[in-house]
């Protein structure tokens, strides 16, 4: 966890830059994991090193609907922030998030915001604490 002014902030890595763009610009507000977490609070979103070109093409319309400026598919960088508000099974995700929810656990995100300038950051998949 990164401590800043006595506030602890966790970081979660998503497996591809494409997933990061879906969270920032395509309305994805759940992130799947295989474990439950009781963590609730601020979160840094780190895009992994992969870009899934097929998924990126499928999201292109949603992403392009977001007014400029918007981030490209950065890799290996902190690209945004969010707040984890819940951890639920796929059948309990908020309305409209069902298509994103695979589970077995889904972290529910709120107040998602892209960074103006991504911060390069090496990491690994998962909820990380530094």
pLDDT digit string, tens, across residues 31-49: 988 999 999 999 999 887 7
Residue with tokens 């507000």: 29
Give yes or no for a contact between 44 and 81, defined as CB atoms under 8 angstroms apart.
yes
pLDDT band at 110 (very low <50, low <70, confident <90, very high): very high
Q: Give the pLDDT score at 11.
A: 72
96, two tokens: 């409209």
**CATH code of the domain in which 78 resides:** 2.30.130
**Least confident range of 7-11, 22-26, 55-59, 126-130:** 126-130
Enter the pTM of the model.
0.78
Burial of 78: CB neighbours in 10 Å, binned 0-12, 13-18, 19+: buried
CA distance 96 to 82: 18
Range of the domain at 26: 2-128
Structurally, how many domains does the chain consist of? Answer: 1
Q: Are strands 77-88 and 41-50 parallel, antiparallel or unpaired?
A: antiparallel
The pLDDT of 64-80, averaged and rounded, is 77
**Of all residues in the chain, what percent carry a pLDDT higher than 90?**
34
Other Cβ atoms less than 10 A from the Cβ of 20: the count is: 28
């Amino acid at each position: 966890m990164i401590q800043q002014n006595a506030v602890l902030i966790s970081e979660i890595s998503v497996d591809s830059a494409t997933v990061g763009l879906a969270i920032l610009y395509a309305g994805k507000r759940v992130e799947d994991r295989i474990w439950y977490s009781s963590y609730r609070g601020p979160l840094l979103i780190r895009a992994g090193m992969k870009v899934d070109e097929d998924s990126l093409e499928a999201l292109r319309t949603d992403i392009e609907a977001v007014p400029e400026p918007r981030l490209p598919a950065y890799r290996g960088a902190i690209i945004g922030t969010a707040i984890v508000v819940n951890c639920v099974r796929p059948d309990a995700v908020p309305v409209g998030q069902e298509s994103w929810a695979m589970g077995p656990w889904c972290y529910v995100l709120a107040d998602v915001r892209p960074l103006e300038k991504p911060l390069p950051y090496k990491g690994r998949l998962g909820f990380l604490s530094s």
